[in-house]
Amino acid sequence: MNPSAWRIVLDIGTTVLVAAGGCALAWRCLRKSADPARLVFKWIFSAGLIFAITRILPHFPEWTWPLIAVPFGIALGVTWASSAGALMAGLLTNSMDGGDVPLEAQPFYSVAETKRRNGQAQEAVALVREQLEQFPEDFRGVMLLASILAEDLHDLPGAQLTLEGWMEGPAATPQGIASALTALADWHLQFARNPEGARAALQRIVHELPDSPAAHQAAQRLAHLPTAEYMAEGRTAAPVGLRPAEKDIGLRKEAAAPAESSQDPDALAEEYVKQLEKHPSDTATREKLALLYAAHFHRLDLAVDQVEQLIALPHETPRHIAEWLNLLADLHIRFGNDLAGAEAALRRILAQFSTPSLVEPTIARLASLEGELKGGQATQVKALGQYEKNLGLKKTTG
């Protein structure tokens, strides 16, 4: 093919590309325009002006062309002034509000929640189901539907089916599964008075999410679930969960004493040991056992061992670990007359954590340890019962 033919082909290709690009741009502008008919009129009018001026100018001297072009320019300016202004304003506002990019579709539950607050639970369920038809994997909607069924309509089986369906779907996440099963356990206790149903839900967390914070918390709750006999008596189940963080941590002057009980200390210790055989991660019981060893049996070695097991538990919060290290310092001061041991326990907090709420009280307590020591006296070791051989006195990994 000769050069002239190549040039013709290139010119045709360029023309086609330019025309295609122009058509695509024009179509996009029409789709985004608030008044497409007016936009088309502007195009036609502008094209007519440009065609007219290109035809008229060759008939006049070149020095007159600017004067002749002025009226045409003014006409074009007036025609496109509003569009140019809108474009400039759009560039400014788009930088602040994101422009006219379509928002991601999201479920809308406020009307359903209002209906629920007004006592219209059935209407609320219908509205939530409408949203879930469009967003079937939305966890917030699933939980809202399940909670209305369980708490307002007392349909616990329906609530459980709702949660089971989501947990078996592709959108299920470990965090969502833990939240759903925890809620299910609460509903079994509160509405069905069924501790076994609650136990099954919590055990699923432990089995399906092993070695996780959720499993650790579920194990704590399992250790303190009420019995079926307790629920059958018509009592309200006590709240189950992790204890709140202690206030003024590190500023107390002596170790907390175990709760007063008329039960024999040996029998009480054996009871704690048996509980720890079943639930090695029961922090509340292990803490009570440590205090019992120190306060009643004056066995600082065994008390320290129990506290160290608490500190070694996985997935515990920094605040709880700091609490137990403070307790360890308490034991060394009150029952061991051991200033070095108490200081070492507190310095472990400074080595592990940098949070001011943990560090500042610890520094303040380090400065006052000698004063605490003057108020405490070491106590003599007493013998323990046969239960010392049991699991509660051994180290545990969970």
Which residue did the predictor score with more confidence, 335 or 86? 335
Angle between helices 300-311 and 318-336 in degrees, nearest 10: 170
Does the structure show a pLDDT above 90 at 263?
no
Angle between helices 339-352 and 318-336 in degrees, nearest 10: 170
Which residue did the predictor score with more confidence, 171 or 28? 171
Give the model's pLDDT for residue 229: 72
Same domain, 365 and 317: yes
Same domain, 271 and 384: yes
Query: Length of the chain in residues, anyone?
Result: 398
Distance (Å, whole) CA 210 – CA 219: 11
Residue 331 included in any domain = yes
Same domain, 281 and 189: no
373-396 per-position pLDDT tens digit: 887 544 444 444 544 444 444 454
41-84 per-position pLDDT tens digit: 777 877 777 777 777 777 777 777 777 677 767 777 777 777 66
Residue 202 included in any domain = yes
Does the structure show a pLDDT above 70 at 240?
no
Q: In sequence order, what DSSP letters do the residues of 195-250 get, joined into one string?
A: HHHHHHHHHHHHHHSTTSHHHHHHHHHHTTPPPHHHHHTTPPPPP-SPPPPPTTTT
Please give the structure tokens belonging to residue 303: 């008390």
Does the structure show a pLDDT above 90 at 161?
yes
Distance (Å, whole) CA 45 – CA 258: 93
Same domain, 279 and 373: yes
Same domain, 161 and 269: no
**CB-based contacts of 98: which residues, under 8 Å, 6+ apart?**
none
Range of the domain at 313: 265-393
Give the model's pLDDT for residue 22: 65
Largest CA distance in the chain: 124
CATH of residue 275: 1.25.40.10
Give the model's pLDDT for residue 391: 41
- Does the pTM surpass 0.75? The reply is no
Least confident segment among 238-247, 289-298, 322-331: 238-247
* Per-residue DSSP letter, 263: S
Residue 96 included in any domain = no
Does the structure show a pLDDT above 50 at 270?
yes
Residue 28 included in any domain = no
CB 128, CB 148: distance < 8 Å: yes
Least confident segment among 84-93, 99-108, 172-181, 325-334: 84-93
Does the structure show a pLDDT above 60 at 200?
yes
Cα distances from 128 to residues 32, 119, 135, 186, in angstroms, run: 34, 15, 10, 22
Residue 128 included in any domain = yes
Give the model's pLDDT for residue 99: 53
Give the model's pLDDT for residue 148: 96
Per-residue pLDDT, averaged over 279-296, amounts to 91
3-state secondary structure string across 67-125: HHHHHHHHHHHHHHHHHHHHHHHHHHHHHHHCCCCCCCCCCCCHHHHHHHHCCCHHHHH
Same domain, 201 and 286: no
Q: What are phi and psi of 150, to 5 degrees?
A: -75, -45
Per-residue pLDDT, averaged over 121-141, amounts to 94
Mean pLDDT, the chain, rounded, equals 80
CB 107, CB 131: distance < 8 Å: yes
Give the model's pLDDT for residue 63: 74
Distance (Å, whole) CA 387 – CA 272: 10
Which residue did the predictor score with more confidence, 49 or 306? 306
Same domain, 190 and 277: no
- Report the half-sphere exposure of 40 (CA within 13 A, side-chain side): 7
Per-residue pLDDT, averaged over 109-126, amounts to 94
Does the structure show a pLDDT above 50 at 255?
no
Does the structure show a pLDDT above 90 at 264?
no
Least confident segment among 97-111, 283-297, 332-346: 97-111
Give the model's pLDDT for residue 115: 93
Same domain, 299 and 368: yes
The residue with tokens 């809308």 is 108
Closest CA to 287 of 316, 264, 256: 256
Distance (Å, whole) CA 323 – CA 256: 11
Cα distances from 227 to residues 137, 184, 207, 216, 299, in angstroms, run: 36, 17, 21, 21, 33
Residue 322 included in any domain = yes
Distance (Å, whole) CA 157 – CA 155: 6
Does the structure show a pLDDT above 80 at 6?
no
How many structural domains does the chain have? 2
Same domain, 315 and 361: yes
Give the model's pLDDT for residue 387: 45
CB 303, CB 343: distance < 8 Å: no
Closest CA to 200 of 218, 217, 175, 220: 218
**CB-based contacts of 310: which residues, under 8 Å, 6+ apart?**
283, 286, 287, 290, 316, 324
Does the structure show a pLDDT above 60 at 211?
yes
Same domain, 269 and 387: yes
Same domain, 227 and 149: yes
Residue 285 included in any domain = yes
Residue 387 burial (10 A CB sphere; 0-12, 13-18, 19+) = middle
